[in-house]
Amino acid sequence: MAARRVVVIGGGIAGLGVAKTLKEKAPESFDITVVTKDTFYMTGPSRPLLVTGEQKYERIIRGYEEVSRAGIKVVNGLVTRIIPEERKIVIAEAPTRPALREIEYDYLVVAPGVVLDGTSIEGYEEHKGNIVNVYEPGRVDTFRRRLWTTEKGTAIIYAPPMPYRCAPAPSETTMIVHTVLKHRGVRENFRVVHIDANDKPQPPVIADVIKEVFDQAGVELITSRKIAEIGPDYVVLDDGEKISYTILALLEPNRAPKFVEEAGLGDKWFEIRNPTDLRSPKYDDILAAGDAAKLPFPKNQEIAYESSLFAANKIMEDAGVGEPVKVQYAFLGWHI
Protein backbone atom coordinates (compact mmCIF):
# COMPACT_ATOMS: atom_id res chain seq x y z
CA MET A 1 0.00 0.00 0.00
CA ALA A 2 1.20 3.53 -0.79
CA ALA A 3 2.55 5.51 2.15
CA ARG A 4 -0.11 7.69 3.78
CA ARG A 5 0.49 11.42 3.53
CA VAL A 6 0.80 12.91 7.01
CA VAL A 7 0.90 16.70 7.04
CA VAL A 8 1.86 18.40 10.30
CA ILE A 9 1.17 22.11 10.85
CA GLY A 10 3.89 23.48 13.15
CA GLY A 11 7.52 22.47 13.55
CA GLY A 12 7.62 22.87 17.33
CA ILE A 13 7.83 20.36 20.17
CA ALA A 14 4.44 18.83 19.37
CA GLY A 15 4.65 18.83 15.57
CA LEU A 16 8.13 17.36 15.49
CA GLY A 17 7.15 14.88 18.23
CA VAL A 18 4.50 13.44 15.92
CA ALA A 19 6.73 13.51 12.82
CA LYS A 20 9.72 11.90 14.52
CA THR A 21 7.66 9.18 16.21
CA LEU A 22 5.93 8.15 12.98
CA LYS A 23 9.22 8.19 11.12
CA GLU A 24 10.86 5.98 13.75
CA LYS A 25 8.00 3.57 14.37
CA ALA A 26 6.64 3.06 10.86
CA PRO A 27 9.16 4.53 8.40
CA GLU A 28 7.70 2.91 5.27
CA SER A 29 4.07 3.63 6.07
CA PHE A 30 4.04 7.42 6.11
CA ASP A 31 5.14 10.23 3.85
CA ILE A 32 5.57 13.03 6.39
CA THR A 33 5.60 16.77 5.68
CA VAL A 34 6.01 19.39 8.41
CA VAL A 35 4.77 22.84 7.39
CA THR A 36 6.16 25.54 9.63
CA LYS A 37 6.38 29.29 9.24
CA ASP A 38 9.99 29.93 10.22
CA THR A 39 13.26 28.39 9.04
CA PHE A 40 14.31 27.94 12.67
CA TYR A 41 12.80 26.98 16.02
CA MET A 42 13.37 28.69 19.34
CA THR A 43 12.59 26.75 22.53
CA GLY A 44 10.38 28.47 25.12
CA PRO A 45 11.85 27.45 28.49
CA SER A 46 14.70 29.68 29.69
CA ARG A 47 13.75 32.51 27.30
CA PRO A 48 13.17 34.70 30.40
CA LEU A 49 16.88 34.35 31.16
CA LEU A 50 17.69 36.22 27.93
CA VAL A 51 16.57 39.29 29.89
CA THR A 52 19.11 38.73 32.65
CA GLY A 53 21.86 37.79 30.19
CA GLU A 54 22.15 34.26 31.62
CA GLN A 55 20.82 32.64 28.40
CA LYS A 56 22.02 33.11 24.81
CA TYR A 57 20.05 32.84 21.57
CA GLU A 58 22.52 30.39 20.03
CA ARG A 59 21.77 27.87 22.78
CA ILE A 60 18.01 27.86 22.19
CA ILE A 61 17.67 28.19 18.40
CA ARG A 62 17.89 25.28 15.96
CA GLY A 63 17.33 24.98 12.20
CA TYR A 64 15.43 22.13 10.52
CA GLU A 65 18.40 20.67 8.63
CA GLU A 66 18.60 17.52 10.77
CA VAL A 67 14.85 17.02 10.45
CA SER A 68 15.14 17.04 6.64
CA ARG A 69 18.14 14.71 6.80
CA ALA A 70 16.02 12.27 8.83
CA GLY A 71 13.67 11.92 5.84
CA ILE A 72 10.92 14.25 7.03
CA LYS A 73 9.96 16.90 4.45
CA VAL A 74 10.01 20.43 5.79
CA VAL A 75 8.08 23.19 4.04
CA ASN A 76 8.47 26.77 5.29
CA GLY A 77 5.24 28.70 4.92
CA LEU A 78 2.36 30.14 6.86
CA VAL A 79 -0.72 27.93 6.95
CA THR A 80 -3.79 30.10 6.45
CA ARG A 81 -6.56 27.62 5.90
CA ILE A 82 -7.65 24.02 6.40
CA ILE A 83 -10.25 22.61 4.02
CA PRO A 84 -11.37 19.37 5.72
CA GLU A 85 -13.80 18.38 2.95
CA GLU A 86 -11.00 18.43 0.36
CA ARG A 87 -8.37 17.10 2.77
CA LYS A 88 -5.96 19.90 2.05
CA ILE A 89 -4.35 22.93 3.63
CA VAL A 90 -3.56 26.31 2.09
CA ILE A 91 -0.18 27.94 2.66
CA ALA A 92 1.15 31.46 2.13
CA GLU A 93 4.78 31.83 1.17
CA ALA A 94 6.95 32.93 4.08
CA PRO A 95 10.02 35.10 3.51
CA THR A 96 13.21 33.46 2.18
CA ARG A 97 11.83 30.06 1.13
CA PRO A 98 9.38 28.99 -1.57
CA ALA A 99 6.25 27.26 -0.30
CA LEU A 100 3.77 24.98 -1.98
CA ARG A 101 0.41 26.75 -2.18
CA GLU A 102 -1.66 23.74 -1.16
CA ILE A 103 -0.87 20.34 0.28
CA GLU A 104 -3.20 17.36 0.39
CA TYR A 105 -3.20 14.96 3.30
CA ASP A 106 -4.46 11.61 4.45
CA TYR A 107 -3.86 12.63 8.08
CA LEU A 108 -3.50 16.21 9.29
CA VAL A 109 -1.91 17.11 12.62
CA VAL A 110 -2.61 20.65 13.84
CA ALA A 111 0.24 21.76 16.13
CA PRO A 112 0.82 25.51 15.58
CA GLY A 113 1.03 26.51 19.26
CA VAL A 114 -0.62 29.76 20.32
CA VAL A 115 -1.39 33.25 19.06
CA LEU A 116 -0.90 36.17 21.49
CA ASP A 117 -4.10 38.15 20.98
CA GLY A 118 -4.39 41.54 22.70
CA THR A 119 -7.19 42.88 20.52
CA SER A 120 -9.71 42.71 23.39
CA ILE A 121 -7.70 45.39 25.24
CA GLU A 122 -8.62 49.00 24.39
CA GLY A 123 -5.67 51.02 23.09
CA TYR A 124 -3.72 47.84 22.30
CA GLU A 125 -2.98 48.59 18.63
CA GLU A 126 -1.99 52.19 19.35
CA HIS A 127 0.30 51.45 22.28
CA LYS A 128 1.58 47.93 21.62
CA GLY A 129 5.07 49.38 21.02
CA ASN A 130 5.19 49.90 24.78
CA ILE A 131 4.63 46.21 25.48
CA VAL A 132 7.56 43.98 26.32
CA ASN A 133 7.64 40.40 27.55
CA VAL A 134 9.73 37.23 27.73
CA TYR A 135 7.82 35.50 24.91
CA GLU A 136 9.09 36.98 21.64
CA PRO A 137 12.70 37.75 20.66
CA GLY A 138 12.25 41.42 19.66
CA ARG A 139 10.23 42.19 22.76
CA VAL A 140 12.73 40.32 24.92
CA ASP A 141 15.51 42.58 23.65
CA THR A 142 13.48 45.74 24.23
CA PHE A 143 12.59 44.46 27.70
CA ARG A 144 16.25 43.83 28.50
CA ARG A 145 17.26 47.30 27.31
CA ARG A 146 14.51 49.09 29.26
CA LEU A 147 15.05 47.06 32.42
CA TRP A 148 18.79 47.65 32.43
CA THR A 149 18.67 51.39 31.66
CA THR A 150 15.53 52.88 33.26
CA GLU A 151 16.34 54.68 36.51
CA LYS A 152 12.95 54.99 38.21
CA GLY A 153 9.23 54.47 37.78
CA THR A 154 6.72 51.63 37.85
CA ALA A 155 7.10 48.20 36.30
CA ILE A 156 3.84 46.39 35.62
CA ILE A 157 3.81 42.67 34.85
CA TYR A 158 0.54 41.18 33.56
CA ALA A 159 -0.69 37.58 33.37
CA PRO A 160 -3.86 37.08 31.24
CA PRO A 161 -6.67 34.62 32.06
CA MET A 162 -5.62 30.98 31.94
CA PRO A 163 -5.01 29.01 29.84
CA TYR A 164 -1.88 30.62 28.50
CA ARG A 165 1.49 29.18 27.59
CA CYS A 166 3.84 28.49 30.51
CA ALA A 167 1.83 29.32 33.63
CA PRO A 168 4.73 30.49 35.83
CA ALA A 169 6.40 32.72 33.18
CA PRO A 170 4.70 35.99 34.32
CA SER A 171 5.62 35.37 37.99
CA GLU A 172 9.17 34.51 36.88
CA THR A 173 9.19 37.77 34.92
CA THR A 174 8.19 39.72 38.02
CA MET A 175 11.05 38.25 40.01
CA ILE A 176 13.46 38.92 37.14
CA VAL A 177 12.38 42.58 37.18
CA HIS A 178 12.90 42.76 40.95
CA THR A 179 16.27 40.99 40.80
CA VAL A 180 17.74 43.05 37.94
CA LEU A 181 16.61 46.34 39.53
CA LYS A 182 18.08 45.25 42.87
CA HIS A 183 21.32 44.18 41.18
CA ARG A 184 21.53 47.62 39.54
CA GLY A 185 20.97 49.31 42.91
CA VAL A 186 17.81 51.11 41.74
CA ARG A 187 15.09 48.85 43.18
CA GLU A 188 14.01 51.47 45.76
CA ASN A 189 13.24 53.88 42.87
CA PHE A 190 10.64 51.47 41.46
CA ARG A 191 7.17 50.29 42.23
CA VAL A 192 6.78 46.69 40.93
CA VAL A 193 3.16 45.61 40.37
CA HIS A 194 2.12 42.10 39.33
CA ILE A 195 -1.41 42.08 37.91
CA ASP A 196 -2.98 38.66 37.48
CA ALA A 197 -6.29 38.17 35.69
CA ASN A 198 -6.66 34.90 37.59
CA ASP A 199 -7.66 34.61 41.25
CA LYS A 200 -4.12 33.53 42.18
CA PRO A 201 -0.67 33.88 40.67
CA GLN A 202 -0.07 30.87 38.44
CA PRO A 203 0.32 27.93 38.74
CA PRO A 204 -2.22 27.65 41.61
CA VAL A 205 -0.32 24.86 43.42
CA ILE A 206 2.56 27.19 44.23
CA ALA A 207 0.50 30.39 44.56
CA ASP A 208 1.21 30.66 48.29
CA VAL A 209 4.94 30.40 47.72
CA ILE A 210 4.78 33.02 44.95
CA LYS A 211 2.82 35.38 47.25
CA GLU A 212 5.39 34.96 50.00
CA VAL A 213 8.29 35.61 47.62
CA PHE A 214 6.51 38.67 46.19
CA ASP A 215 5.92 39.93 49.75
CA GLN A 216 9.59 39.62 50.64
CA ALA A 217 10.54 41.39 47.40
CA GLY A 218 8.08 44.24 48.01
CA VAL A 219 6.05 43.34 44.90
CA GLU A 220 2.45 44.56 44.90
CA LEU A 221 0.08 41.77 43.86
CA ILE A 222 -3.32 42.44 42.29
CA THR A 223 -5.43 39.37 41.43
CA SER A 224 -8.73 38.78 39.61
CA ARG A 225 -8.29 41.98 37.58
CA LYS A 226 -7.85 42.24 33.84
CA ILE A 227 -6.11 45.05 32.03
CA ALA A 228 -9.00 46.60 30.06
CA GLU A 229 -7.13 49.53 28.49
CA ILE A 230 -3.58 50.53 27.66
CA GLY A 231 -2.66 54.20 27.42
CA PRO A 232 0.69 55.82 26.53
CA ASP A 233 1.94 55.55 30.14
CA TYR A 234 -0.89 53.96 32.10
CA VAL A 235 -3.18 50.95 32.17
CA VAL A 236 -6.79 50.83 33.32
CA LEU A 237 -8.04 47.70 35.07
CA ASP A 238 -11.53 46.29 34.58
CA ASP A 239 -12.65 47.83 37.91
CA GLY A 240 -11.58 51.29 36.70
CA GLU A 241 -8.32 51.54 38.66
CA LYS A 242 -5.65 53.44 36.70
CA ILE A 243 -1.97 52.63 37.22
CA SER A 244 0.95 54.44 35.56
CA TYR A 245 3.77 52.40 34.03
CA THR A 246 7.33 53.01 32.94
CA ILE A 247 7.87 49.38 31.90
CA LEU A 248 4.90 47.25 30.80
CA ALA A 249 5.65 43.51 30.63
CA LEU A 250 2.35 42.19 29.35
CA LEU A 251 1.35 38.79 28.04
CA GLU A 252 -1.69 38.92 25.78
CA PRO A 253 -4.53 36.39 26.15
CA ASN A 254 -3.66 33.22 24.20
CA ARG A 255 -5.69 31.30 21.62
CA ALA A 256 -5.14 28.91 18.72
CA PRO A 257 -4.71 30.46 15.23
CA LYS A 258 -7.96 31.58 13.58
CA PHE A 259 -7.79 28.92 10.87
CA VAL A 260 -8.76 26.38 13.55
CA GLU A 261 -12.04 28.15 14.23
CA GLU A 262 -12.61 28.93 10.54
CA ALA A 263 -12.33 25.24 9.65
CA GLY A 264 -14.93 24.39 12.31
CA LEU A 265 -12.39 22.62 14.50
CA GLY A 266 -13.07 24.56 17.71
CA ASP A 267 -13.40 28.13 18.88
CA LYS A 268 -10.48 29.41 20.94
CA TRP A 269 -8.78 26.01 20.96
CA PHE A 270 -8.86 22.86 18.81
CA GLU A 271 -11.65 20.66 20.17
CA ILE A 272 -10.46 17.09 20.81
CA ARG A 273 -12.29 13.86 21.68
CA ASN A 274 -10.28 13.39 24.89
CA PRO A 275 -6.65 13.83 26.03
CA THR A 276 -5.57 10.42 24.74
CA ASP A 277 -7.56 10.62 21.49
CA LEU A 278 -6.70 13.98 19.98
CA ARG A 279 -8.82 13.58 16.86
CA SER A 280 -11.36 16.25 16.05
CA PRO A 281 -14.83 15.02 17.10
CA LYS A 282 -15.89 15.84 13.51
CA TYR A 283 -13.06 14.34 11.45
CA ASP A 284 -11.21 11.06 11.97
CA ASP A 285 -8.26 12.28 9.88
CA ILE A 286 -7.55 15.59 11.67
CA LEU A 287 -5.79 15.56 15.03
CA ALA A 288 -4.34 18.21 17.32
CA ALA A 289 -1.15 18.18 19.38
CA GLY A 290 0.49 20.61 21.77
CA ASP A 291 -0.65 24.00 23.03
CA ALA A 292 -3.29 24.49 20.30
CA ALA A 293 -5.29 21.51 21.63
CA LYS A 294 -8.07 22.01 24.16
CA LEU A 295 -6.46 19.83 26.81
CA PRO A 296 -7.47 20.04 30.48
CA PHE A 297 -3.82 20.58 31.43
CA PRO A 298 -1.42 23.53 31.65
CA LYS A 299 0.16 24.51 28.35
CA ASN A 300 3.80 23.50 28.59
CA GLN A 301 6.48 21.60 26.82
CA GLU A 302 6.09 18.22 28.49
CA ILE A 303 2.33 18.12 27.99
CA ALA A 304 2.84 19.25 24.38
CA TYR A 305 5.30 16.43 23.77
CA GLU A 306 3.17 13.79 25.52
CA SER A 307 0.12 14.84 23.51
CA SER A 308 2.19 14.43 20.33
CA LEU A 309 2.94 10.82 21.24
CA PHE A 310 -0.75 10.13 21.84
CA ALA A 311 -1.49 11.69 18.43
CA ALA A 312 1.19 9.58 16.70
CA ASN A 313 -0.15 6.43 18.40
CA LYS A 314 -3.67 7.19 17.17
CA ILE A 315 -2.49 7.64 13.59
CA MET A 316 -0.60 4.32 13.70
CA GLU A 317 -3.61 2.59 15.25
CA ASP A 318 -5.92 4.00 12.59
CA ALA A 319 -3.55 3.01 9.79
CA GLY A 320 -2.97 -0.42 11.36
CA VAL A 321 0.82 -0.08 11.38
CA GLY A 322 3.66 0.34 13.90
CA GLU A 323 3.93 -0.26 17.63
CA PRO A 324 2.46 2.36 19.98
CA VAL A 325 4.94 4.23 22.14
CA LYS A 326 4.46 4.18 25.91
CA VAL A 327 3.18 7.52 27.14
CA GLN A 328 1.22 9.07 30.00
CA TYR A 329 0.48 12.66 30.93
CA ALA A 330 2.81 13.91 33.63
CA PHE A 331 4.48 17.21 34.33
CA LEU A 332 7.54 17.35 36.54
CA GLY A 333 7.32 21.13 37.04
CA TRP A 334 4.40 20.79 39.43
CA HIS A 335 1.72 18.25 40.21
CA ILE A 336 -1.30 18.43 37.86
Ligand X SMILES: Cc1cc2nc3c(=O)[nH]c(=O)nc-3n(C[C@H](O)[C@H](O)[C@H](O)COP(=O)(O)OP(=O)(O)OC[C@H]3O[C@@H](n4cnc5c(N)ncnc54)[C@H](O)[C@@H]3O)c2cc1C
Interstrand relation of 242-244 and 234-237 (parallel, antiparallel or unpaired): antiparallel
Among the candidate windows 66-74, 190-198, 209-217, 290-298, which touches ligand X by CB under 6 A?
Answer: 290-298
Residue 302 interacts with ligand X (CB under 6 A): yes or no? yes
Count residues binding ligand X (CB under 6 A): 36
Q: Examine residue 171 and tell whether it contacts ligand X (CB under 6 A).
A: no
* Pattern 30-59, ligand X, x by CB under 6 A: -----xxxx--x--xx-xx-----------
Out of 23, 25, 139, 165, name the contact with ligand X by CB under 6 A. 165
φ, ψ dihedrals at 256, nearest 5°? -75, 160
Which of 72, 166, 247, 265 forms a contact with ligand X (CB under 6 A)?
166
Q: Which residue is nearest to ligand X (CB)?
A: 12
**Torsion, CA 56, CA 194, CA 114, CA 146, rounded to 10:** -40
Interface with ligand X, residue 250, by CB under 6 A: no
Give the torsion sign (CA, 222, 206, 111, 56): positive
Strands (E), the chain: 4-9, 30-36, 40-42, 61-63, 73-83, 88-93, 102-104, 107-110, 115-116, 131-132, 153-159, 190-196, 220-223, 227-230, 234-237, 242-244, 247-250, 254-255, 286-288
Min. distance of Cβ 20 from ligand X in angstroms?
12
Q: Which is nearer to ligand X, 261 or 302 (CB)?
A: 302
Backbone angles phi and psi of 91, in degrees to 5:
-125, 140
Among 29, 198, 202, 300, binds ligand X (CB under 6 A): 300
Name the residues that contact ligand X, by CB under 6 A: 9-15, 35-38, 41, 44-45, 47-48, 78-79, 111-113, 134-135, 165-166, 169, 257, 290-292, 299-302, 304, 333
